[in-house]
Amino acid sequence: MKPIRLEMRGINSFREIQSVDFSKLSQRGIFGIFGPTGSGKSTILDAMTLALYNETARKSKEYLNLDSKDLFVSFEFEVGTDTGRAAYVVERGKKRDKDGKIKSTIDRLYKKGGTGEIIEGSGQVNRTIVNLLGLTMDDFTRSVVIPQGKFSDFLKLAGANRKKMLERILKLQEFGELLTVRVKRKKEENEKRLHGAKEALKAYEGLEIERLDEFRDELLLLQCNIKELSECEKNMRAELRNAEEFWQKKDRLESIDIMIESSEAEKEAMKALLKKCEMAKRVMEMGPCLKEKREAGKEISQIEFNIKKIAEKIEQSEKMKELFERQLKIAAEKKEKDYEPLMGKSLVMKHMIENETKSLEVLERKIRIQEDLIEKGSKQMAEVGI
C-alpha cells in the first residue's frame, strides 16, 4: 500500500481540517515527521488506521476532539492489483450521541477515477480493506504503522504468529496456511479411501491363490451368460417393439372401422335426406294440385252450406205446401170461393219447390265434380308419400 493523501478534522488535537499530501513528501524518497510531544504526530497514524479499519492505532476510544461535534477522515491510497495499480478513497465520519458515545455517520469506500460501485457500511468496508491490503488491523499496526513503544512487539513475534503475519504481508497464504489446510484435507481423503479399500479386501480373506483359475473360469462363464442374456433381452425388445407396432396398427384399424361405421350411418342419413328432398320436390311439383284441393275444399264447404240453406228452404216450402193443402181441403169443404186463392198459393209454392230442387241438383253435381278432383289429388299425394 502507498499513501497518497490524508484529510482529517475533529480527531484528537486537530479541531480544524488538516491535509497531508504524501505524494509530495515522498517525491525525494524517505521522509520523516517531526515535532514536539503533543503536536499530533501519532494522530496522523490514528487517522490512517481509523479510515482503514475503523480503529485508531493506539486502540483509544477517546479520539474525538472535545471542542468538536463530529469527526471526519478521508484517506486516499494506492495498491497493486491483478491489472495494475489502483487508487482508492476510504472515508469515515463520527459524532457523539446524547449519551456521550461515539457513533458512525459515514463508512464509505470507492475506487478513484472509476465507475465502480460505492461500498458502504462499516463491516463491508472493513472486509474490503482487508482483501485489498491483505492485512488485518493487527498485521497493519505491527508491520506498516507501528505506534510508539510497539516496535518491539514486531521483533518479538515468534512461531506461528510471525509466520502467519509474514504470509499475509507477502501474500503467501496459498503456500502457507492454505496449503497446509489443502494437504491436511487431501491426507484425510486418502486415509478414508485406504480404509475403504482395506474393508473391501476383508471380503477376500482366506482365499487361496490356487483357486484363482477357478474364479477366472466362473468369470468367463458369467460373462458368456451375460452376453446370452443381453442377446435375449435384445430379441425380446425387438419382439416388444413389433408387438407395440401390431397393437398400434390394430388400434388404427379399429379407428378405421369406427370411421367406416360412422360413414355408413352418415350414408343412410344422406339417403333418407335425399328421399325427403325428392318428396319435397314432388310436393313442390304437386303444389298446384294442393292449391286446387284446398280451393275445392273451400268451394265444397260453401256448396254444402248453400245445400243446407236450400234444404231448409225446401223443408219450409213443403211444410207450407202441406199447410196450404190442408187449408185448401178445409176451404173446399167450406166454401168454393176460398179454393181458388189457396190453389194459386199452392201452385206458387210448388214452383218454388221445383226451382229449389233444381238448384239443389245443380249443387249436388258441383259437389260430385269437386269430390272427384279431391280424390284425384289425394291419390297423387299418396304416391309421393304425403
pTM over 0.85: no
Rounded CA separation 11/40 (Å): 10
Q: Residue 107: its pLDDT value, please?
A: 94
Average the pLDDT over each of 218-232, 288-302, 332-346 and give the range with the smallest value: 332-346
Is residue 169 over pLDDT 90?
no
Q: Grade residue 208 by pLDDT with cuts at 50, 70 and 90.
A: low
What average pLDDT does the segment 150-162 reach? Answer: 61
52 contacts 133 by C-beta, under 8 angstroms = yes
The single-letter code of the amino acid at 41 is: K
Residue scoring higher pLDDT (14 or 309): 14
Give domain limits for the chain: 2-133, 227-284, 286-383
Rounded CA separation 46/146 (Å): 11
The string of pLDDT tens digits covering residues 86-127 is: 899 999 999 988 888 889 999 999 998 766 788 999 999 999
The string of pLDDT tens digits covering residues 250-288 is: 777 777 767 777 767 777 776 777 676 676 666 566 556
DSSP states of 340-377 as a string?
Answer: HHHHHHHHHHHHHHHHHHHHHHHHHHHHHHHHHHHHHH
CATH value of 2-133 in 3.40.50.300, 3.30.365.10, 3.30.70.20, 3.60.40.10: 3.40.50.300
| 3-state class percentages of the chain: helix first, strand second, coil last, to nearest 5 | 65, 15, 20
Strand pairing class (70-81; 18-21): unpaired
Q: Residue 100: its pLDDT value, please?
A: 82
The string of pLDDT tens digits covering residues 22-75 is: 989 888 888 888 888 878 888 888 899 999 999 887 778 888 888 888 999 999
Q: Running DSSP on this structure, what letter comes out for residue 173?
A: G
Q: Residue 146: its pLDDT value, please?
A: 63
Q: Residue 365: its pLDDT value, please?
A: 75
